[in-house]
Amino acid sequence: DGGITQSPKYLFRKEGQNVTLSCEQNLNHDAMYWYRQDPGQGLRLIYYSQIVNDFQKGDIAEGYSVSREKKESFPLTVTSAQKNPTAFYLCASSILGGNTGELFFGEGSRLTVL
Amino acid sequence: GQQLNQSPQSMFIQEGEDVSMNCTSSSIFNTWLWYKQDPGEGPVLLIALYKAGELTSNGRLTAQFGITRKDSFLNISASIPSDVGIYFCAGPPEYNNNDMRFGAGTRLTVKP
């Protein structure tokens, strides 16, 4: 079945460590996105990519990095520079190259920093 | 960046009651999307609206794209326990189609 797969679902990290969250889609979507979700807040955009080998910063890109080497994959690295990384991270994709279309979300990855 | 103003923040209702929530912005939107998120899962699209004044239904759910293009409403009729979750409005403002914005969500609790 087509969809978006995020892994791991749960991740624990010690302070000072980098971690990478995986996002894979087999929907043949051009655009992919990473959002951060904190309790009581809407989803905030970290990075997005409309095409392979190109990506743009969102509102809260500091402390995060991404790559888009393949159309299907858009991994997110949470670096040690991110001061408050504990959150629920959501990956999404859309058909349109722009951001006017519907977003299809993965099931999320919950990162906890110990 | 600008976020959407979604209200109410939470609702506690009895099974069978109707529910109404809304989303407003100071900017004009070309698209309004309504998502539902179950605990520990990613949001799932419920309804998409693309034209001012548009009224669209999906089962017991009805959403409308406001005439001013600065607001949208979602109604749920005859609520059931599985309606529990967080409902988000979303959309890109007219001034930047590459910028999908989300409301803070309405957390719905349905008591049997």
CB contact under 8 A, A108 and B88: no
- Whether B54 and B64 have beta carbons less than 8 Å apart is answered as yes
Rounded mean pLDDT of chain B?
A: 92
Answer yes or no: is pLDDT of B66 > 60.
Answer: yes
Distance from the A18 Cα atom to the nearest Cα atom in chain B, whole angstroms: 23
Nearest beta carbon to residue B30 from set A35, A100, A103: A100
Residue pLDDT, tens place only, A36-93: 999 877 899 999 998 999 999 998 999 999 999 999 999 999 998 888 999 999 999 9
CB contact under 8 A, B42 and A100: no
Distance from the B97 Cα atom to the nearest Cα atom in chain A, whole angstroms: 6
Sequential DSSP letters for B8-72: -SEEEEETT--EEEEEE-SS-BS-EEEEEE-TTS--EEEEEE-STT-EEEETTEEEEE-TTSSEE
CB contact under 8 A, A105 and B97: no
> For residue B12, how far is the Cα from the chain centroid?
17
Residues on chain A touching B40 (C-beta within 8 angstroms): 107-108, 110
Residue pLDDT, tens place only, B40-58: 899 999 999 999 999 999 9
> For residue A42, how far is the Cα from the chain centroid?
15
